[in-house]
């Protein structure tokens, strides 16, 4: 039986802990709040994030990171992407030297423009072949209800990817492996920005044609960035690309889409997160993604428009003209 530490007790971290336990792993979770950890261990729920959905009795939780990490063969990281480096640095001495490190995060670091797997390797000194990422159409509440889905486990080290895929292979959760870490991570990060754009369009009252256009052209700009950074374009046609993009843009369970709707209704970014009662990775990641694109000579007009709305106060009425008024060109990527 695999011994797994899940560092983070939010909705996705808790849900992935459920998947791991249902697949047969021994799971210890870490959370900042003692009350949440006690609830997970004693009541087998995490009501703040998953309501009354049951957590297996084999899952325990602690607010002591050393206890969670001790003896773990797999360490799953599920903290906010912008706090990963600082938080992981505090834990570095307690992380087992031979553990496979797994990122559940879908963001790009502010300032450095690093992907989360790069932050993990830099902070811990781990060989990148010992780092894996999990991404795909992974809406937490659906998976916590044991609804069928699939995902991708990517690592430059096939052994690491196989180990993690085996550990999370549950009756309702099918993991595929991939070596294209760049493509898998970029697909997960950029889709949050496109989901904000789709939500904004919905909040403004636009229909399915507009949303389908944003999803399709959003995929095109994701592929452009990915190819420029060495990703395999085929990755973006799979679960971590189109699969994750469609789920995040279409579902009312999507945090980024929900915040986007509030933005489209005229709320400021701060107000939108209050109205939506959630935070969204795309709000913070959109700017470093755009900076990364510009540094590599890649055009990302939808991402640029989202950044203009979120960070520079672009009036919503100017959004259509900005996107549709660009010079015409062939449809190709």
Catalytic residues: 191
CA distances, 149 to each of 116, 121, 141, 146, 244 (Å):
23, 29, 12, 9, 11
- The counts of H helices and E strands in the chain are 16, 8
CA distances, 210 to each of 21, 203, 206, 309, 331 (Å):
41, 12, 6, 18, 16
Query: Which residues have a Cβ under 8 Å from the Cβ of 164 and sit 6 or more positions away?
Result: 74, 100, 102, 132, 134, 153, 155, 175
Classify residue 159 by burial, with Cβ atoms within 10 Å: 0-12, 13-18, 19+: exposed
Please say whether the beta carbons of 236 and 183 come within 8 A. yes
In three-state secondary structure terms, 44 is coil
Which residue from 152, 158, 89, 154 is spatially nearest to 119, judged by alpha carbons? 89
Calpha distance 256→254 (Å, rounded)? 6
CA 94 to chain centre: 25
Cα angle: 83, vertex 6, 251; to 5 degrees: 75
Tokens of residue 52, six digits: 């009354």
């Amino acid at each position: 039986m695999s011994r797994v530490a899940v560092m983070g007790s939010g909705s996705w971290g808790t849900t992935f802990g459920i998947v791991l336990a249902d697949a047969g792993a021994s799971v210890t979770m870490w959370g900042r709040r003692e009350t949440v950890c006690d609830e997970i261990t004693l009541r087998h729920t995490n009501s703040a994030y998953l309501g009354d959905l049951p957590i297996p009795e084999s899952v325990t939780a602690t607010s002591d990171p050393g206890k969670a990490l001790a003896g773990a063969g797999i360490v799953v990281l599920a903290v906010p992407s912008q706090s990963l480096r600082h938080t992981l640095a505090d834990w570095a001495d307690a992380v087992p030297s031979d553990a496979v490190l797994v990122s559940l995060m879908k963001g790009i670091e502010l300032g450095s423009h690093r992907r989360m797997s790069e932050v993990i390797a830099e902070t811990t000194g781990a060989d990148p072949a010992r780092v894996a990422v999990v991404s795909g159409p992974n809406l937490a509440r659906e998976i916590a209800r044991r609804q069928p889905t699939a995902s991708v486990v990517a690592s430059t080290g096939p052994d690491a990817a196989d180990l993690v895929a085996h550990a999370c292979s549950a009756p309702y959760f099918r993991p595929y492996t991939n070596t294209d870490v760049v493509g898998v991570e970029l697909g997960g990060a950029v889709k949050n920005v496109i989901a904000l754009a789709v939500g904004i369009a919905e909040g403004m009252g636009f229909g399915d044609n507009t949303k389908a256009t944003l999803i399709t052209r959003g995929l095109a700009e994701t592929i452009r960035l990915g190819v420029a950074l060495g990703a395999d374009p085929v990755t973006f046609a799979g679960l971590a690309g189109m699969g994750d993009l469609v789920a995040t843009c279409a579902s009312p369970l999507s945090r980024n889409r929900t915040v986007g709707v509030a933005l489209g209704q005229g709320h400021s970014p701060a107000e939108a997160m209050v109205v939506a009662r959630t935070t969204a990775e795309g709000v913070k990641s959109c700017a470093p993604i755009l900076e990364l694109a510009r540094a590599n000579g890649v055009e990302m007009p939808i991402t640029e428009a989202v950044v203009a709305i979120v960070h520079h106060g672009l009036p919503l009425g100017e959004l259509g003209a900005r996107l549709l008024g660009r010079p015409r060109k062939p449809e190709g990527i």
